Structure 1
Amino acid sequence: MRKSEVSSTLTVYHDGQFWVGVVEHVESGMLSVARVVFGAEPSNEEVYAWVLERWSSLRLSAETEPVGPRAGRLPGNPKRRARAAAKAMRQHGSSTASQLALARERERVKDGRREDRAARRQDEARSRWEDRRERKRRKHRGK
């Protein structure tokens, strides 16, 4: 039986207007992400309370992006690599893979809404056509 590696990361950053949290969940090499808007700057206690209360109800995106193998790590001091990664996260908020996954999720939701709207319009048009047809039949019958 193979072990599957599972990890979740919550990154909180200020996007210029709001404090935003990006959740990156990696399971079996596949990345799922979610974006949470906190609004005002959350304290550590508020973030911890949010994790305890709402983590299980978090709506993650579909598993989209395969995460690269761990064997391809950069050589060198692991502490220096960790500092560089932390600095990049502070500057950019979240990883590029999670940003791409969030963009794909927004597009998927937008396409779904567009399809729903088109189906609803089509149903309404069909309903109006049937109503007109029924009125014409009644009028033709003299009622």
Structure 2
Amino acid sequence: MGTSKLTILFEDPFWIGLYEREDDTGYAVCRIVFGGEPRDQEVYAYLLEHWRTLRFSPPRPGADRPDAPKSPKRRQREARRMTQAGGIGTKAQQALKLQQEQGKQARLTHTRQQREAEAERKFQLRQMRRKEKRRGH
């Protein structure tokens, strides 16, 4: 059995929801754009209606829970080191970035295949026209 958490926050100009779930397959996150500020009933109705169509990021291995909680100052120092070293964002932000990168790669390969198919079609059309010219009318 896993845990899930929904966080509603304002990213100018829209209200968004970060739906995080963690289970035995790993940690995954989904970003939901609400537009205007949603009421609790609207969020609940949205989740009930669109549960099957939510696009979660690929599961990442879940972080092991630390045995003892760290002091707030230590956590603050570690967070500062992470942001300075380039490890940006929270676990949810990193998972969303990974999902975005994978979508970008899929789009790039799809457009490249379309471009190659179009070039092949044009080549075949030119070849056919050349043959027609050689045959005469």
Same-fold call, TM > 0.5? Answer: yes
Which band: TM-score by shorter chain? 0.7 to 0.9
One of 46, 65, 68 as aligned partner of 1:70: 65
Shift of 1:10: 0.9
- Cα displacement string for residues 112-142 of structure 1 (whole angstroms, at most 9, x for unaligned residues): 1011001100000000000000000011011
Does the CA contact (< 8 Å) of 1:29 and 1:68 recur in 2?
A: no
Once residues 24 and 56 of structure 1 are traced to their aligned partners in structure 2, the CA distance between those partners, rounded to angstroms, is 15
State the match for 1:30 in structure 2.
26
Identical columns (%): 34
Once residues 37 and 69 of structure 2 are traced to their aligned partners in structure 1, the CA distance between those partners, rounded to angstroms, is 34
Shift of 1:23: 0.9
Give the TM-score normalised by the residue count of structure 2: 0.81
1:98 aligns with 2:92: yes
State the match for 1:128 in structure 2.
122
Once residues 109 and 75 of structure 1 are traced to their aligned partners in structure 2, the CA distance between those partners, rounded to angstroms, is 36
State the match for 1:92 in structure 2.
none
Once residues 47 and 73 of structure 1 are traced to their aligned partners in structure 2, the CA distance between those partners, rounded to angstroms, is 35
Shift of 1:75: 6.1
Q: Any unmatched runs of 5+ in structure 1?
A: 82-94
1:43-62 alignment to 2 at 5 Å?
43-62=39-58
Structure 1 segments, 4+ long, off by >3 Å, are none
One of 103, 107, 113 as aligned partner of 2:107: 113
Give the TM-score normalised by the residue count of structure 1: 0.78
- Cα displacement string for residues 57-103 of structure 1 (whole angstroms, at most 9, x for unaligned residues): 2121211x222222434168xxxx9xxxxxxxxxxxxx711100100
Of structures 1 and 2, the one with the larger relative CO (CA 8 A, separation 6+) is 1
State the match for 2:11 in structure 1.
15
